[in-house]
Amino acid sequence: MKHLIPEFDVMRRRYPAEATSSMVLPCLHRIQQERGHVADSDIAELTAYLGVPRIQIEEVLSHYTQFRRAAIGRWHLQACRNLSCSMRGAEGVIEHLSAKLGIAPGQTTGDGRFTLSTVECLGSCGTAPVVMVNEAYHESMTPARLDALIEGLSRSGATP
């Protein structure tokens, strides 16, 4: 995280001195953008840099599901399991993805290509069930569409 300090210093000028804790969220976003996840060492360094209690950073990390504490696969599949998606078959979507990839939610495939997660509402209830792959939404998912999605990602040639 140390190489981001100059960037954080610039950001800090936009915050009143008494609002330093408001920088926790944008700093964590930036760290994850760089590393792909927020490591323990990042938390320690951010705690020291901002001068906020570690628990304040831990609370933000545990509240927002988009933050990751460990490295993930090249493709991060996030299957919504909230109400609208549940009513439209989210459980089957998650089971289908688990079976297809051979992993349970929270796990990464052995080749490091796919990580499967379950998440709360992705804000696209009208097109449930929804699966997010990295930053892209895939909506109204069916078993056939899931198969096509995984096959397309597998053929992409991108390596972790």
Residues that bind ligand FES in the complex, under the rule CB under 6 A: 80, 82-85, 121-125, 128, 130
Q: Taking the complex as a whole, how short is the minimal distance between the CB of residue 105 and ligand FES, in angstroms?
A: 15
- Give Cα 126 distance to the centre of its chain: 22
CA–CA distance, 2 with 149 (Å, rounded to integer)? 38
Residue 53 or 123: the one with the smaller Cβ distance to ligand FES is 123
Q: Taking the complex as a whole, how short is the minimal distance between the CB of residue 89 and ligand FES, in angstroms?
A: 11
Q: Taking the complex as a whole, how short is the minimal distance between the CB of residue 122 and ligand FES, in angstroms?
A: 4
Give the number of other Cβ atoms within 10 Å of residue 147's Cβ: 12
Q: Taking the complex as a whole, how short is the minimal distance between the CB of residue 59 and ligand FES, in angstroms?
A: 24
Q: 108 in helix, strand or coil?
A: strand
Residue 45 or 139: the one with the smaller Cβ distance to ligand FES is 139
Q: Taking the complex as a whole, how short is the minimal distance between the CB of residue 130 and ligand FES, in angstroms?
A: 5
Burial of 8 (0-12, 13-18, 19+ CB in 10 A): middle
CA–CA distance, 106 with 88 (Å, rounded to integer)? 22
CA–CA distance, 73 with 130 (Å, rounded to integer)? 19
Residue 81 or 113: the one with the smaller Cβ distance to ligand FES is 81
CA–CA distance, 153 with 2 (Å, rounded to integer)? 34
Residue 27 or 117: the one with the smaller Cβ distance to ligand FES is 117
Residue 80 or 116: the one with the smaller Cβ distance to ligand FES is 80
